[in-house]
């Protein structure tokens, strides 16, 4: 029976390859799989019934082959012939169920004589029924003009060769069909590219040896905890939440063994500075695409649903989640599939605010998907403890949620480990002896206050290839530097002080006052435009928007490489949202460098139109 079940699992998804009879064939293959599984699991099933089921299974594959080879006109006629076959299979199912029920209900107190008599009567009755079912199968085979004797169906070498040819044809056709369906799905959902944990723009994973305790906790939860479906990893900006989430994805990806192919990882890393990566509808569509990529049956269902309801993609996010996800997974049978999902959504607090809440109804919709799905889902949400996210996460009594807030004092050891490793690397590459001084290392660790974004930005600033690392580190620690930074909270004062020092170092010290003012003006306009556009933008587009020399813009971006990322194709973006927050806070940023997107927009009439044209051109 195991061999027949494997055959059926190859043929069942292939039913959709026969447009005129896919529903009939799918129903027949499903019923046959149930029969084979029942016959395999139940002890003492009569051999003639097993033979009947095997015969019915083989016949079903030949009927499939018949549909594959006949003309389109004949395909329209053949489904009507399947009714008798379907009815015979249903009768076989009832016969097998009755046998199972009788065996289960036989009392050990029943006398031996009565048990023997009862069994003899049942065996004779079942034998007659099996003979009748075999004749009905003969009639079905005759109607389809298929050789149907048991000997030929079970032993003919030509048939086995035909079966191998059929399975090969099915696999090839399904690959083609999968490709076509995936292309249609990409067109319909337009999933966001570059937002996964493994994209080029994704955060770097944790340095080995750091964040070990929380990572062990997360791995245990994601792969082995069956009681709590949601994990909320929270903490202030810059504490390494995204890095931890990325590292978890790497670990899970490596641990999902080939024997666990039904466990799927779906990820989305939200980015404030990319329009398509902060829109809740686009995030939902990308997650749905991930589910559909993993489950072919859902993919087909989703495409059919989108065809039947073309306006659904314009509805609110909660309605879309209910119709396009719950409509399938709420009824999904998972007992045999072993299907499970691990979903990671990082930076949820960076979503667009709708009705005053980050992402609007997206988080509520996502949690409802987890709660209602019959396929197990583990959801990791990484975010700051914003008011909107906190309110939603703490108001769901029907869903178990595990929360972990990153504690800054406890992160100090990991920050020291990271800085020691990176400074040692820089010292080796630059041939620096006894650098940095232990007191300087401890000063940086103390200033970081457990914030990983402080440590990583320091490393980016010091490691700039065209500057001396010793002088750069001294610029960050110089006690004579008078900072005008005034952070809204004590935990961010040193971070804002560091940003002020980096901005001060971006303009060469030999510049005259006039040159300093001119360079600061270009800087303010460049950064203000990045903040205003809130999307990835090329240096060429920036120069066009601001009607400024390309080289001047490029130099500013180059000098701010610690806080601005220059990616492939000359695309520039802010390294971390905390730098944008610093610039927009007039109390935090120094007067020379504070920016006003509104003023920049007023000084550049038609900036939105120019941006569209420049972006298209570049």
Distance CA 487, CA 455 (A): 18
Distance CA 53, CA 134 (A): 10
Residue 92 confidence (pLDDT): 81
Q: Indicate the range of 187-201, 257-271, 450-464, 562-576 predicted with least confidence.
A: 257-271
Confidence of residue 437 (pLDDT cuts 50, 70, 90): very high
Angle at 454 between CA 452 and CA 459, to 5 degrees: 95
DSSP string, 51-91: HHHHHHHHHHHHHHHHHHHS-HHHHHHGGGGHHHHHHHHHH
Which of 56, 80, 86, 92 lies closest to 143, judged by CA? Answer: 80
Confidence of residue 265 (pLDDT cuts 50, 70, 90): very high
In the numeric block, which tokens belong to residue 565?
């990322």
Residue 612 confidence (pLDDT): 47
Is pLDDT at 435 greater than 80 in this prediction? yes
Q: How far is CA 433 from CA 376, 418, 437, 465, in A?
A: 55, 19, 10, 18
pLDDT of 92-116, one tens digit each? 888 777 777 666 555 555 455 445 4
pLDDT of 514-536, one tens digit each? 888 887 787 878 877 887 777 77
Asked if residues 369 and 328 have their Cβ atoms less than 8 Å apart, the reply is no
Is pLDDT at 285 greater than 90 in this prediction? yes
Partners of 565 in the beta sheet?
573
Asked if residues 506 and 557 have their Cβ atoms less than 8 Å apart, the reply is no
Comparing 148 with 163, the larger pLDDT belongs to 163
The ranges assigned to domains in the chain are 2-175, 190-406, 408-480, 481-618
Is pLDDT at 599 greater than 60 in this prediction? no
Is pLDDT at 452 greater than 80 in this prediction? yes
Is pLDDT at 118 greater than 80 in this prediction? no
pLDDT of 141-162, one tens digit each? 777 776 544 445 445 455 555 5
Is it true that domain 190-406 has CATH number 3.40.50.150?
no
**What is the average per-residue pLDDT within 381-400?**
86
- Half-sphere exposure of 196 toward its Cβ, with a 13 Å CA cutoff? 13
Q: Indicate the range of 202-206, 245-249, 445-449, 538-542 predicted with least confidence.
A: 538-542
Parallel, antiparallel or unpaired: strands 377-383 and 537-538: unpaired
Is pLDDT at 470 greater than 80 in this prediction? yes
pLDDT of 536-595, one tens digit each? 788 888 888 888 888 888 888 888 899 998 877 688 888 898 888 888 776 655 556 666
Which of 414, 349, 405 lies closest to 206, judged by CA? Answer: 414
Residue 181 confidence (pLDDT): 83
Share of residues in the chain with pLDDT > 90 (%): 33
In the numeric block, which tokens belong to residue 190?
């337009």
Residue 618 confidence (pLDDT): 40
Residue 154 confidence (pLDDT): 47
Q: Indicate the range of 105-109, 374-378, 428-432 predicted with least confidence.
A: 105-109
Distance CA 593, CA 571 (A): 22
CA 257 to chain centre: 18
Is pLDDT at 137 greater than 90 in this prediction? no
pLDDT of 21-66, one tens digit each? 677 777 887 888 888 877 776 666 677 878 888 888 878 877 777 7
Is pLDDT at 366 greater than 80 in this prediction? yes
Which of 41, 33, 23 lies closest to 57, judged by CA? Answer: 33
Residue 47 confidence (pLDDT): 78
DSSP string, 254-315: HHS-GGGTTEEEEEEE--TT-GGGT-HHHHHHHHHHHHHHH-HHHHHHHHHHHHH-TTGGGS
pLDDT of 196-227, one tens digit each? 999 988 999 999 989 999 999 999 999 887 78
Which of 262, 253, 415 lies closest to 336, judged by CA? Answer: 262
Residue 616 confidence (pLDDT): 47
DSSP string, 162-179: HHHHHHHHHHHHHHHHHH
**What is the average per-residue pLDDT within 114-141?**
70
Q: How far is CA 555 from CA 84, 172, 471, 512, 583, in A?
A: 79, 54, 20, 17, 19
Confidence of residue 296 (pLDDT cuts 50, 70, 90): confident
**What is the average per-residue pLDDT within 244-270?**
85
Is pLDDT at 80 greater than 80 in this prediction? no
Residue 613 confidence (pLDDT): 45
Confidence of residue 3 (pLDDT cuts 50, 70, 90): low
Residue 311 confidence (pLDDT): 93
Comparing 466 with 247, the larger pLDDT belongs to 247
DSSP string, 235-250: -STTSSHHHHHHHHHH
Contacts of 346 (CB under 8 A, 6+ apart): 197, 203, 241, 242, 245, 246, 267, 268, 269, 270, 382, 383
Comparing 1 with 453, the larger pLDDT belongs to 453
Confidence of residue 605 (pLDDT cuts 50, 70, 90): very low
pTM: 0.73
Is pLDDT at 335 greater than 70 in this prediction? no
Is pLDDT at 461 greater than 70 in this prediction? yes
DSSP string, 490-532: GGGHHHHHHHHHHHHHHS-TT--HHHHHHHHHHHHHHHHHHHH
**What is the average per-residue pLDDT within 248-275?**
84
Comparing 523 with 609, the larger pLDDT belongs to 523
- Half-sphere exposure of 394 toward its Cβ, with a 13 Å CA cutoff? 10
Average pLDDT, the chain: 80
- Upstream peptide bond of 436 is cis (omega within 30 degrees of 0): yes
Backbone φ/ψ region at 480: left (φ over 0), alpha (ψ -120 to 50), beta: alpha
In the numeric block, which tokens belong to residue 52?
């009947």
Contacts of 422 (CB under 8 A, 6+ apart): 455, 459, 463
């Amino acid at each position: 029976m195991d061999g027949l079940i494997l055959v059926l699992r190859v043929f069942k998804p292939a039913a959709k390859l026969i447009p005129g009879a896919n529903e009939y064939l799918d129903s027949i293959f499903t019923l046959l799989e149930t029969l084979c599984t029942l016959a395999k699991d139940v002890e003492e099933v009569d051999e003639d019934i097993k033979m009947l089921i095997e015969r019915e299974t083989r016949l079903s594959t030949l009927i499939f082959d018949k549909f594959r080879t006949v003309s389109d006109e004949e395909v329209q006629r053949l489904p009507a012939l399947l009714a008798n076959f379907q009815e015979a299979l249903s009768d076989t199912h009832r016969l097998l169920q009755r046998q199972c029920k009788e065996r289960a209900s036989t009392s050990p107190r029943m006398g031996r004589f009565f048990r023997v008599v009862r069994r003899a009567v049942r065996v004779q009755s079942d034998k007659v029924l099996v003979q009748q079912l075999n004749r009905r199968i003969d009639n079905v085979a005759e109607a389809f003009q298929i050789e149907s004797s048991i000997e030929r169906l079970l032993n003919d070498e030509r048939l086995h060769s035909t079966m191998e040819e059929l399975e090969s044809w099915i696999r090839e056709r399904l690959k083609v069909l999968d490709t076509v369906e995936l292309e249609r799905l990409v067109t319909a959902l337009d999933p966001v590219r570059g937002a996964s944990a493994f994209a080029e723009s994704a955060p770097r994973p944790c340095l080995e040896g750091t964040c070990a305790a929380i990572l062990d906790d997360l791995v245990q939860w994601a792969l082995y905890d069956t009681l709590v479906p949601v994990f909320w990893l929270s903490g202030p900006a810059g504490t390494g939440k995204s890095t931890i989430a990325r590292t978890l994805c790497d670990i899970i990806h490596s641990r999902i063994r080939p024997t666990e192919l039904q466990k799927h990882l779906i990820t989305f890393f939200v980015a404030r500075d990319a329009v398509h990566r902060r829109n809740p509808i686009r995030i939902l569509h990308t997650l749905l695409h991930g589910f559909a990529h993993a489950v072919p049956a859902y993919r087909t269902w989703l495409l059919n649903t989108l065809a039947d309801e073309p306006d659904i993609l314009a509805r609110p996010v909660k309605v879309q989640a209910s119709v396009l996800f719950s409509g399938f997974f709420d009824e999904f049978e998972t007992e045999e599939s072993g299907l499970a999902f691990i979903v990671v959504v990082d930076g949820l607090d960076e979503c667009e605010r709708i009705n005053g809440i980050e992402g609007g109804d997206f988080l509520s919709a996502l949690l409802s998907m987890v709660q209602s799905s019959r396929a197990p889902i583990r959801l990791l949400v990484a975010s700051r403890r914003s008011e909107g996210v906190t309110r939603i996460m703490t108001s769901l009594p029907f869903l178990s949620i595990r929360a972990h807030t990153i504690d800054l004092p406890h992160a100090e050891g990991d920050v020291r480990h990271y800085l020691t490793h990176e400074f040692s690397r820089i010292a080796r590459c630059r041939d620096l002896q006894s650098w940095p001084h232990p007191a300087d290392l401890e000063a940086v660790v103390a200033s970081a206050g457990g914030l990983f974004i402080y440590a990583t930005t320091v490393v980016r600033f010091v490691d700039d290839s065209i500057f001396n690392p010793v002088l750069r580190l001294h610029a960050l620690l110089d006690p004579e530097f008078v900072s005008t930074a005034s952070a809204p909270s004590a935990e961010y004062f040193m971070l804002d002080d560091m940003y002020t020092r980096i901005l001060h170092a971006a303009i060469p010290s030999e510049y005259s006052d006039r040159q300093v003012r001119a360079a600061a003006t270009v800087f303010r306009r460049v950064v203000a435009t990045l903040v205003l556009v809130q999307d990835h933008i090329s240096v060429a587009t920036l120069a066009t928007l601001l009607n400024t020399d390309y080289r001047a813009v490029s130099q500013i971006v180059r000098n701010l490489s610690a806080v601005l990322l220059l990616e492939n194709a000359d695309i520039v973006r802010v390294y971390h949202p905390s730098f944008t927050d610093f610039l927009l806070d007039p109390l935090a940023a120094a007067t020379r460098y504070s920016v006003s997107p509104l003023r920049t927009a007023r000084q550049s009439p038609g900036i939105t139109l120019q941006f569209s044209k420049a972006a298209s051109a570049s």
